[in-house]
Structure 1
Amino acid sequence: MSEPATHDARAAQRLAWARAALHQPDAGLERASTDAGFRSYWRTVGTVPSRIVMDSPPGQEDVRPWLRIRDVLEAGGVRVPQVLARDVDTGFLLLEDLGGPTVAQVIDAGNADAHMAAAIAQLVRLQSIPLPADAPAFGEALLQRDAGLFEDWFVRRHLGIELDCGDSERLELAQRRLMDNALAQPRVPTHRDYMPRNLMPVDGGPAVLDFQDLVLGPVAYDPVSLLRDAFLSWPEPRVDGWLRDYHARAVAAGVPVPALDLFLRDADWCGVQRHLKILGIFARLHHRDGKPRYLADAPRFLAYLDAVVPKYRALDPLRELLDRTIKPAFAKVAA
């Protein structure tokens, strides 16, 4: 069957399933969001209230990991989308409609404290949940893969440079120290993309989205993902205040955070590791997937690295690499 025919057949199957699940033979569907891999989301038309159909085509997106993590989070008191009907074999779910804007679309300087307080409270709840014994861990293999994204896609493909022996050694040493720090931290449930664009401002929320890659990982990873976001920047004094607020809430909830000074260092280092990885991911989206808009945020990441890396002597190899090679090459590409 040709690709258009397959697409049409899936659309017809999706609509028929939605109408049956809703018990409304005249219901329609319209696209609710894009840029979600093979998974797609559709809002019902002609129903009150509206619902969302998640379509995870079998063989392309297995819906079971999403469902499993969703159920674990809900049992732990985390606000997640409610599942109203499910057909795992065909890859269809009927979900509540949480509305339109994400926290990223409504947050501003005036309301940021309230949104961050709610997001931090929800994160502490998430980090307190006991995960199943077979939950995947944020370990060496995942960190090595993340490290490779920066060199393969941002340095080689986007900047068009091959690092000389000295720079290769600098990057390898810095990445090793960042990985060792991440691996040494206490481990808690880690969303890995806990940021405003994956949070919905609803009652009892924010509701948490895009949680299917949750692992057992470093305790500082999600707080810094939220507060030093890939798409939003805040004045550093506000970020520091929010990190301290998170730490106090985590201590009160029994989350295994280290002492405040160590936690703030771990958050800085997790932020460096994460921003290097995201530079690689955004370069890959541009060069491989034809999505150039993400690289517009690259200067934000480099500014963050400039602000944080010089604070730590152990990260001097990375500072030297950035100053000697990465920033001059980026300036040429951006010119």
Structure 2
Amino acid sequence: MTALSKKDLGNSGISEFLIHELGAKIEVYPLAGDASARKYFRIVRDQESFVLMQWEAFKSLSDYPFTNIGSHFSKHNVRLPKIIGSRPEEGLLLLEDLGDLTLERKFWESRNQEDSLNFYEQAIEQLIKIHYPSTADRDENCKAFQIQFDSEKFQWELNYTKQHLIEGLCRIQLSDTEKKQLNNIYLEIADRLHEEDKFISHRDYHSRNLMIKLGKVNVIDFQDARLGPIQYDLVSLLKDSYVNISKEIESHLLNHYLDLRTQYITKKINKDAFDEVYQLQTIQRCFKATGSFASFYQTRGDTRYLHYIPDTLTTVLKALDHFPEFSFLKELILRDEVIGVDYNSL
């Protein structure tokens, strides 16, 4: 890969910032971005490397969600990329380079799922730190305490899928009666999840946001953390669209989580109630994921995520088997215009 020139970087202020932080003898390489509008670059200086993140301008490190929440997590030993330098007015953060080995890549490169189990256990251990000590340290200046998954937010996410997948990509025109049926299901799912106790939720805790460096799992992309049910992050990790974790590994990791939880909360959990919320959260979280995948195609012509839709819908259908009262949603997904689409051909 060819290094970028100053001309390639344009008038963004990146070159001047990097020279100020690292000196003139550096090389800049573009990195593939995530599903957001953020841009990433790998900066090489001699035998060292760093990652530059470019996003919207911000006032200060304490005001910027990434650094604000990251500072709170760091107090509780959550492994995160270290901040090397910043220029808020340019939206620039220079970070520790965690490399290219995601948990997703480790999963697929392993000979069998057991070979990646240690790293998934580490991911659970990092999640415990986010859910319990980080939540117990009630710092109201931390932005994760200022927003939450409430009924309105859960409904918004479900309607996002109706907009981008059902009505958008699949071009289904729901009747007024069908819209009412669907909205009633959305409301019940959202209200039931909203009633759960709330802990800090990473919000996007999947295998592409977990980096392995020197055998240790590190957490990235945590800037949207907010209060929510513990099952939200567990579903994100264990019902992840990017991998296919076996039922045996999923069960083992859930038990690992519940065992570690007792270090912070001594009251024994009602496993049946926990499992019911876990299935309910699977419906909500995974259905929203299909809406996101559809929206990337609908809004910017990005086809890379479309092939994840069928298996993710299958995950939703399996969870819906536990809730016969939501039969209309199951019937909607089972329509040929939804589950029968060849998303790879779009």
Counterpart amino acid of residue 74 in structure 2: E
The aligned residue for residue 278 of structure 2 is: 267
Q: 1:316 to 1:168 in 2, by over 3 A?
A: same
Counterpart amino acid of residue 88 in structure 1: P
Is residue 42 of structure 1 aligned with residue 49 of structure 2? no
Structure 1 distance, partners of 2:67, 2:267, is 27
SS at match of 1:9: coil
Structure 2 distance, partners of 1:185, 1:200, is 30
Q: 1:69 to 1:26 in 2, by over 3 A?
A: same
Q: Which runs of 5+ in 2 are unaligned?
A: 1-6
Task: Name the % identity.
Answer: 23
| Counterpart selection for 1:297 from 295, 308, 327 | 308
Instruction: Note the alpha carbon deviations across 1:128-167, whole angstroms, 9 max, x for none.
Output: 1035325211123322220211111111111111112443
Deviation at 1:224, TM superposition (A): 1.1
What TM-score does the superposition give when structure 2 sets the normalisation length? 0.86
| Counterpart selection for 1:217 from 217, 225, 228 | 228
Counterpart amino acid of residue 247 in structure 2: E
The answer to whether the 8 Å contact 2:51/2:97 transfers is yes
Structure 2 distance, partners of 1:257, 1:193, is 27
| Equivalences for residues 119-268 of structure 1 within 5 A | 119-128=123-132, 129=134, 130-133=137-140, 134-203=145-214, 205-254=216-265, 258-268=269-279
Deviates more, 1:77-86 or 1:247-256: 247-256
Deviates more, 1:41-50 or 1:111-120: 41-50
| Counterpart selection for 2:119 from 115, 120, 125 | 115
The aligned residue for residue 3 of structure 2 is: none
Instruction: Note the alpha carbon deviations across 1:241-293, whole angstroms, 9 max, x for none.
Output: 32222122223332988422211111111111011111111111011111012
- Tell me which stretches of 4 or more aligned residues in structure 1 moved more than 6 Å: none
Counterpart amino acid of residue 250 in structure 2: V
Deviates more, 1:24-33 or 1:35-44: 35-44
Structure 1 distance, partners of 2:286, 2:253, is 19
Q: CA RMSD in A?
A: 2.4
The aligned residue for residue 18 of structure 2 is: 18
The aligned residue for residue 4 of structure 2 is: none
Deviation at 1:100, TM superposition (A): 1.4
Q: 1:6 to 1:114 in 2, by over 3 A?
A: closer
The aligned residue for residue 54 of structure 1 is: 53
Is residue 8 of structure 1 aligned with residue 10 of structure 2? yes
Deviates more, 1:164-173 or 1:268-277: 164-173
What TM-score does the superposition give when structure 1 sets the normalisation length? 0.89
Determine which structure has the larger helix proportion and give its number: 1
Instruction: Note the alpha carbon deviations across 1:57-116, whole angstroms, 9 max, x for none.
Output: 428xx9811111111111121001101122222222221111111111112413232121
Deviation at 1:37, TM superposition (A): 3.1
| Aligned residue pairs, count | 324
SS at match of 1:25: coil
The answer to whether the 8 Å contact 1:150/1:280 transfers is yes
Q: 1:319 to 1:39 in 2, by over 3 A?
A: closer
Deviation at 1:239, TM superposition (A): 1.5
Deviates more, 1:176-185 or 1:107-116: 107-116
Counterpart amino acid of residue 83 in structure 2: V
SS at match of 2:29: strand
SS at match of 2:90: coil
The answer to whether the 8 Å contact 2:200/2:228 transfers is yes
Counterpart amino acid of residue 185 in structure 2: A
